[in-house]
Amino acid sequence: MKEEPGEELKDEPGGNCGSDYDAEYEDLLAAAEDIEVDDRALAPAKWSRPIRKRARVTMRYRVRGNWLVGYHTGVDLAVPKGTPVYAVGTGVVVLASWSGSYGKAVTLKMSDGRYVVYGHLNRISVARGAKVKAGTRIGSSGATGRATGPHLHFEVRARRPYGSDIDPVKYLARHGLSL
């Protein structure tokens, strides 16, 4: 069987991330309609991991490198293309579109006001404005945008702008979850 070495590499779960400051994504996010998330009517829900199974971390948060802020702004999880990806908690879809170096990406505004970004998706299965809760499927993982192989770039921001990121592992840990 003839195989292109490059293709083979691109299908192997792993690789990491060229998710960096991306004007296309940041402009879309800045322009997105502000939606208030109201979860007062809901019982406090258990949070969910972004992917069900544990996955190898191929790049940790804040690894130093050639990014605009000088470090990796999310955490990269090696998952095969097509792996279901889930909302971690109650929120609303702020963006669900092609997002430059993030590839196909979904951005959620969570009920605590934080923003969660899922990058390099193969498929998006929610629309902008949709309400989500822990465990709502938002898409499938992939290697779109600047990625050297299939992985999920999972990023949490305190506010909208690039560089307001917080530690995504600690964020999930506060809700009782480990990656």
Report d(CA 161, CA 18) in Å as an integer.
18
Determine the interface stretch with Zn ion among 19-27, 35-43, 77-85, 135-143 (rule: CB under 5 A): 19-27
In the complex, minimum distance from the CB of residue 144 to Zn ion, in angstroms, rounded to a whole number:
13
In the complex, minimum distance from the CB of residue 90 to Zn ion, in angstroms, rounded to a whole number:
24
Please pick, from the candidates 14, 49, 55, 76, the single residue that binds Zn ion as defined by CB under 5 A.
76
Please pick, from the candidates 13, 14, 15, 19, the single residue that binds Zn ion as defined by CB under 5 A.
19
Phi, psi of 84, rounded to the nearest 5 degrees: -60, 140
Please pick, from the candidates 17, 78, 108, 156, the single residue that binds Zn ion as defined by CB under 5 A.
17
Q: Which of 105, 87, 75 has its CA nearest to residue 49?
A: 87
Q: Is 81 in the site for Zn ion (CB under 5 A)?
A: no
Q: Is 74 in the site for Zn ion (CB under 5 A)?
A: yes
Q: Which of 163, 172, 157 has its CA nearest to residue 69?
A: 163
